[in-house]
């Protein structure tokens, strides 16, 4: 029969052996006998004895369990076989109990597959079988189908002229994501439309296959970009059936897991390289201001008596400290954004007034460098809904860069324009232009990469963290906006930021920081802090503002002080979180459980845990507010007053 010819051809080309176990007698086709290394003349009992004795010693126990299970269910094993000539071979063996009580299956040498290196394309292997596994009374077509369905490969056969499917085994149906042979026949054209070939020459070679009786090896992606996408290695070959019809048989080997593992390995290697680069840059960037702080601190010890020199050193220490804090904040913010934990907190905001205040904030820097500032506004709606902190950060960063990288006497332009999309929604476009040092063509594509710096900026003595622009870009994207940069080295830079905002037609109250002097003189604060240095700094800053401070070294001591004093003793508690004996959360819980009005004492978390989720944890624990370290005294005073 024609199917016999197909099966025999597949077996011949792919060295897959068929075996049958009947009691203590092992029968096999020519391919099986060759694979285990015995001659055709070997009798069935000797064949079984030879096979069992050549299973690798370390796999004997596993193989014995496999043989035991064969009498109960279809079972598969991969084990090592000691071939008398070829040495150690990796064998995949699959079998099942037949209706006549015998056990039959396939024996496949997979040594070459196991040895494949991770960066090499897998060699194609074909697998089909021709040993009779069922009684002669079983329908021949069902017999062939059962054999082919046992194979780990997808088998697809169809006529060249009419595209009529001759056979599609179960594995191929799974790969094509089709339920049945009938549906596959109806979708014959769409099956090929869902093939994608990584090699551009594959389609041309497959077309040529229809004209010439040869074979084609190729790689294919089946159902690309779908959740059920399959990467496979395939081989197509032309056969002639007894009716002189030309048949194309294609065998597919699913390598999706190997492709995924390779991608995972590449991503891990990229991640490792990025981590190394990050640590290298971190080491350098942190050491620079730390060296200055330590160095000028040592110099101050030798110049205590010279107030002018000491003041100069203090200014440089302060400058380096601010730079170090800025770097750490940038790193933390970048980490937060990339982890997906950054969220927008939209509130009404007056964009016109805030941009005007922003430019006034930069006036001293512009005046110091004798620069010219051009400012233009063309908007119809001042009040918008936005995250004011993030939008300020974007504009402050870009203006800082423009001033920093523009020489004395240069010009900086800031323009704000509103472009209405629809009623209630507008694009607010800010253009910041300078006549500074510009950006080279080589560096411009890398400007949004972490820790990247233009060589000329370091040569000009301008210091930057290399994180400002990446943060700006990620914040712009978080706000669903766009940012573009045009620049020419030596001529200046233009940055265009376009952010969509919903505007408010009826003017609403906007939260604006109150710049008035806050007077908390006479207030009594319980400061809970385990670090002596941090406690001294906080206590001194607060006492300078006329506030009375009582210090508790941990949560347990704070709870005792609250219990031992009257209800009106303390006006507020500043609570660190990570402390010995009793942490801030535990102390807050105890205070909130007190039976009198002391359980209503305002408790402000004063902690180095600065993320939004840290603030949420503090509020969920019962605290009134959250302030992050290092202390900004004006912000702390505003928070104390608000609670």
Which pLDDT score is estimated for 511?
46
193 neighbors 218 (Cβ within 8 angstroms): no
Distance of alpha carbon 637 from alpha carbon 516, whole angstroms: 11
Q: What are the φ and ψ backbone dihedral angles of 367, each rounded to 5 degrees?
A: -65, -40
Strands in 328-470 per DSSP E: 347-350, 372-378, 383-386, 411-422, 425-434
Mean pLDDT of the chain: 82
* Each residue's pLDDT tens digit, 87-111: 988 888 888 888 888 899 888 888 8
Domain ranges, ordered by start, for the chain: 2-116, 153-254, 270-336, 347-503, 524-642
Pairwise pLDDT comparison (113 vs 496), residue with the higher score: 496
Q: How far apart are CA 542 and CA 534, in angstroms?
A: 12
Mean pLDDT over 535-562 rounds to: 92
We find that the CATH architecture of domain 270-336 is Orthogonal Bundle (1.10)
Taking 80 as the threshold, does the pLDDT of residue 61 lie above it? yes
Q: Which of 483, 465, 460 is nearest to 473 (CA)?
A: 483
- Report which listed range, 48-57, 244-253, 278-287, 504-513, is most confident: 48-57
Q: Residue 388: its pLDDT value, please? A: 85
Mean pLDDT of the region 57-83: 88
Q: Is the dihedral of CA 527, 533, 534, 537 positive or negative?
A: positive
Residue 357, classed as helix, strand or coil, is helix
Choose between 548 and 141: higher pLDDT: 548
Task: Confirm or reject CATH 3.30.565.10 for domain 347-503, answering yes or no.
Answer: yes
pLDDT in tens, 425-473: 999 999 999 999 999 888 888 888 766 666 544 444 444 556 778 889 9
Check for a shared fold between 2-116 and 270-336: no
The predicted model gives 232-249 an average pLDDT of 83
Q: Which residues have C-beta within 8 Å of that of residue 609, sequence separation ≥ 6? A: 577, 578, 617, 628
Domain 153-254 superfamily per CATH: PAS domain (3.30.450.20)
Is residue 287 over pLDDT 80?
no
289 and 323 in contact (C-beta within 8 Å)? yes
Q: Provide the pLDDT confidence category of residue 136 given band limits of 50, 70 and 90.
A: very low
The H helix count followed by the E strand count for the chain is 21, 23
State the pTM of this model: 0.45
Find the mean pLDDT for residues 385-402.
Answer: 88
- Say which CATH topology domain 524-642 has: Rossmann fold (3.40.50)
Q: Which of 89, 86, 85, 155 is nearest to 126 (CA)?
A: 155
pLDDT given at position 403: 92
pLDDT at 10: 67
CB atoms within 10 A of CB 605: 26
Residue 12 has pLDDT above 70, yes or no: no
Residue 485's pLDDT is 94
Q: Domain spanning 2-116 has what CATH number? A: 3.30.450.20
Q: Which residue has the tokens 């376009």?
A: 498
Q: Which residues pair with 482 in a beta bridge?
A: 498
Residue-wise pLDDT tens digits, 169-182: 888 888 888 877 77
β-pairing, 215-222 with 195-196?
antiparallel
Q: Could you tell me the strand order of the sheet in which 215-222 lies?
A: 165-168, 154-159, 246-254, 230-240, 215-222, 195-196
């Amino acid at each position: 029969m024609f199917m016999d010819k197909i099966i025999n051809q597949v077996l011949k080309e792919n060295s897959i052996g068929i075996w049958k176990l009947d009691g203590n007698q092992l029968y096999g086709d020519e391919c099986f006998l060759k694979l285990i290394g015995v001659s055709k003349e070997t009798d069935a009992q000797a064949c079984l004895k030879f096979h069992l004795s050549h299973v690798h010693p370390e796999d004997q126990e596993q193989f014995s369990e496999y043989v035991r299970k064969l009498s109960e269910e279809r079972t598969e094993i991969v084990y090592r076989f000691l071939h008398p000539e070829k040495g150690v071979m990796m064998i995949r063996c699959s079998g099942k109990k037949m209706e006549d009580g015998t056990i039959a299956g396939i024996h496949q040498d997979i040594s070459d597959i196991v040895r494949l290196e991770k960066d090499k394309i897998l060699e194609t292997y074909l697998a089909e079988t021709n040993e009779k596994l069922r009684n002669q009374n079983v329908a021949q077509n069902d017999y062939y189908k059962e054999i082919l369905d046992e194979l780990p490969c997808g088998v697809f056969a169809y006529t060249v002229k009419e595209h009529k499917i001759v056979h599609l085994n179960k594995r191929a149906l799974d790969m094509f994501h089709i339920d049945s042979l009938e549906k596959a026949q109806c979708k014959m054209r769409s099956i090929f439309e869902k093939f994608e070939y990584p090699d551009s020459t594959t389609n041309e070679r497959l077309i040529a296959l229809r004209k010439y009786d040869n074979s084609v090896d190729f790689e294919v992606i089946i159902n690309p970009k779908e959740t059920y996408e399959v990467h496979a290695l395939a081989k197509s070959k032309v056969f002639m059936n007894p009716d002189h019809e030309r048949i194309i048989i294609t065998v597919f080997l699913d390598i999706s897991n190997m492709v995924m593992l390779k991608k995972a390995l590449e991503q891990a290697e990229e991640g490792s390289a990025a981590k190394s680069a990050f640590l290298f840059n971190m080491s350098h960037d942190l050491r620079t201001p730390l060296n200055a702080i330590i160095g000028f601190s040592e110099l101050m010890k030798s110049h205590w008596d010279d107030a002018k020199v000491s003041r100069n050193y203090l200014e440089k220490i302060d400058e380096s400290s601010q730079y170090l804090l800025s770097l750490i904040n940038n790193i933390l913010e970048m980490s937060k954004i990339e982890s997906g934990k950054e969220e927008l907190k939209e509130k009404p905001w007056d964009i016109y007034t805030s941009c005007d205040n922003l430019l006034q904030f930069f006036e001293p820097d512009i005046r110091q460098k004798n620069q010219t500032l051009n400012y233009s506004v063309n908007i119809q709606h001042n009040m918008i809904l936005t995250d004011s902190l993030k939008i300020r950060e974007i504009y402050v960063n870009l203006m800082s860069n423009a001033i920093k990288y523009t020489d004395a006497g240069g010009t900086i332009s800031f323009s704000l324009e509103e472009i209405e999309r629809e009623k209630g929604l507008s694009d607010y476009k800010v253009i910041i232009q300078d006549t500074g040092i510009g950006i080279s063509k080589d560096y411009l594509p890398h400007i949004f990469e972490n820790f990247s710096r233009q060589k000329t900026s370091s040569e000009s003595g301008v210091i930057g963290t290399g994180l400002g622009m990446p943060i700006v870009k990620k914040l712009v994207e978080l706000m669903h906006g766009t940012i573009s940069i045009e620049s020419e080295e030596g001529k200046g830079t233009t940055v265009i930021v376009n952010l969509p905002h919903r505007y408010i037609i009826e003017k609403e109250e906007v939260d604006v920081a109150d710049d008035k002097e806050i007077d908390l003189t006479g207030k009594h604060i319980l400061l809970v802090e385990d670090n002596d240095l941090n406690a001294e700094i906080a206590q001194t800053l607060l006492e300078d503002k006329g506030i009375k401070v009582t210090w508790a070294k941990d949560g347990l001591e704070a709870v005792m002080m609250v219990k031992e004093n009257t209800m009106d003793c303390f006006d507020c508690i500043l609570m660190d979180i990570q402390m010995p004996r009793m942490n801030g959360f535990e102390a807050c819980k105890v205070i909130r459980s007190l039976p009198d009005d002391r359980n209503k004492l305002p408790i402000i978390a004063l902690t180095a845990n600065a993320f939004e989720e840290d603030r949420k944890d503090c509020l969920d624990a019962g605290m009134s507010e959250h302030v992050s370290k290092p202390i900004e005294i004006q912000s702390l005073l505003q928070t104390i007053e608000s609670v």
